[in-house]
């Protein structure tokens, strides 16, 4: 009754074998840990690359919307200019008693145009700012993507190192990893 019976699955045996192998072989353990760390950091870099790319698209969309708004305002400005020109023409062609109405229209259209011009320039400014932000986000996206690529190369070199058991490949792995981390830091700092 007090006997224990344990059935061990293939997965459990494989884990035990890997555990025994890594305790006997520090090279395999170092490469395995390095690969796991690189994969984790690479996943974070991939997330940041996607995030900055999405932000760039949002800023680009905002720039487009504000460009269209500015264009609408400039068209409205042109329409007011046309009305102002017609009022000036009317003032010039009508005898003096009727000129007062046209003079008031000329003045009103002039005020309207200044307000419209101010709005249009404001939308243009917002469009330029959003476009600049989109460019900055795309630059960061490229840095994240470059960093991720270097980490993926380091991970691939880890597999080659494990298969060939060449310890000098550790230097190559660490070089690619360091370059990838450096690019990741540059992306985080927006450099």
Within-domain flag for 14: no
Cα–Cα distance list, 17 to 32, 75, 118, 162 (Å): 14, 76, 74, 16
Within-domain flag for 5: no
pLDDT at 23: 61
Within-domain flag for 145: yes
Which residue range forms the structural domain that includes residue 62? 29-188
Within-domain flag for 20: no
Cα–Cα distance list, 60 to 43, 67, 142, 181 (Å): 26, 10, 16, 28
- pLDDT digit string (tens) for 40-95? 999 999 999 999 999 999 999 999 999 999 999 999 999 999 999 999 999 999 98
Residue 19 has pLDDT above 70, yes or no: no
Q: What is the mean pLDDT of residues 156-170?
A: 92
- Residue 29: pLDDT band with limits 50, 70, 90: confident
d(CA 13, CA 9): 6
Q: Would you say 120 and 77 are in contact if contact means Cβ atoms under 8 Å apart?
A: yes
**pTM, full prediction:** 0.73
pLDDT at 21: 60
Within-domain flag for 159: yes
Residue 177 has pLDDT above 90, yes or no: yes
In the chain, the percentage of residues whose pLDDT exceeds 90 is 76
Dmax (CA) for the chain in angstroms is: 123
Cα–Cα distance list, 167 to 27, 30, 173 (Å): 8, 11, 10
| Residue 51: CB atoms within 10 Å | 14
Residue 112 contacts by C-beta under 8 Å, 6 or more apart in sequence?
80
Query: How are the residues of the chain apportioned to helix, strand and coil, as percentages rounded to the nearest 5?
Result: 90, 0, 10
pLDDT at 5: 65
pLDDT at 18: 63
DSSP code for 168 = T
Within-domain flag for 22: no
Within-domain flag for 3: no
Give the number of domains in the chain: 1
Within-domain flag for 79: yes
Q: Where are the beta strands (DSSP E) in 37-169?
A: none
d(CA 168, CA 159): 13
> Within the chain, where are the H helices?
10-24, 26-93, 96-164, 169-188
Q: Where are the beta strands (DSSP E) in the chain?
A: none
Give the residue, 11 or 29, on which the prediction is more confident.
29
């Amino acid at each position: 009754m007090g006997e224990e019976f344990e059935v061990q699955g293939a997965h459990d045996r494989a884990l035990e074998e890997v555990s025994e192998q890594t305790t006997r072989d520090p090279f395999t353990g170092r490469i395995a840990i390095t690969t796991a760390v690189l994969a984790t950091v690479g996943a974070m870099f991939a997330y940041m690359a996607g995030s900055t790319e999405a932000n760039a698209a949002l800023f680009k969309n905002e720039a487009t919307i504000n460009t269209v708004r500015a264009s609408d305002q400039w068209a409205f400005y042109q329409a007011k200019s046309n009305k102002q020109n017609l009022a000036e023409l009317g003032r010039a062609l009508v005898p003096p008693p009727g000129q007062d109405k046209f003079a008031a229209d000329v003045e009103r259209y002039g005020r309207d145009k200044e307000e419209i011009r101010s709005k249009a320039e404001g939308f243009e400014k917002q469009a330029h700012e959003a476009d600049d932000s989109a460019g900055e986000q795309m630059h960061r996206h490229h840095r994240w993507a470059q960093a991720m690529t270097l980490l993926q190369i380091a991970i691939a070199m880890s597999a080659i190192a494990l298969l060939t058991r060449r310890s000098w490949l550790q230097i190559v792995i660490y070089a690619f990893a360091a370059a990838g981390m450096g690019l990741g830091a540059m992306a985080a700092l927006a450099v």
